[in-house]
Amino acid sequence: KQEVTQIPAALSVPEGENLVLNCSFTDSAIYNLQWFRQDPGKGLTSLLLIQSSQREQTSGRLNASLDKSSGRSTLYIAASQPGDSATYLCAVGIFGSNTGNQFYFGTGTSLTVIP
């Protein structure tokens, strides 16, 4: 069974800092990996999706990497802003004809960017 762990559980940084969020998973046979943002009481916003054949994806100030062999992914946020404050979720996708594309989620990293 896939287990997804995110470290740290909470992070507080001053505005402008670069930061790294970590995600580890136990089974390297993944279909894809996705990073989401969740604001309090809100839904999920997809940030970056990495297919299993890819090593990284970039969007603006965000960069996500994937190392399947070691079971790790990182989300790098450059020049953090107060508006980046949210919970960041890592989700590891598996695929099967009888399962579709299911995600296993970590419990998230709660990020606070201090102005």
Positions touching other proteins (CB under 8 A) are 4, 32, 36, 41-44, 46, 49, 89, 91, 95, 97-108
- CA atoms of 59 and 77, how far apart (whole Å): 10
CB of 109 to other proteins, least distance (A): 12
* Angstrom distance (rounded) from CA 45 to CA 35: 9
Least spacing, CB of residue 79 vs other proteins, in Å:
27
Q: Tell how far CA 66 is from the center of its chain.
A: 10
Q: Which is nearer to other proteins, 40 or 115 (CB)?
A: 40
Q: Which C-beta is closer to other proteins: that of 8 or that of 100?
A: 100
Nearer residue to other proteins within complex by CB, 12 or 107 = 107
Q: Do 74 and 80 form a contact (C-beta atoms < 8 A)?
A: no
- Shortest Cβ 46–other proteins spacing (Å): 8
Alpha-carbon span 85 to 108, nearest angstrom: 13
Q: Considering the complex, what minimum distance in angstroms separates the CB of residue 15 from other proteins?
A: 28
Exposed/middle/buried for 77, CB within 10 Å: 0-12, 13-18, 19+?
Answer: buried
Residue (80 or 104) nearer to other proteins, CB: 104
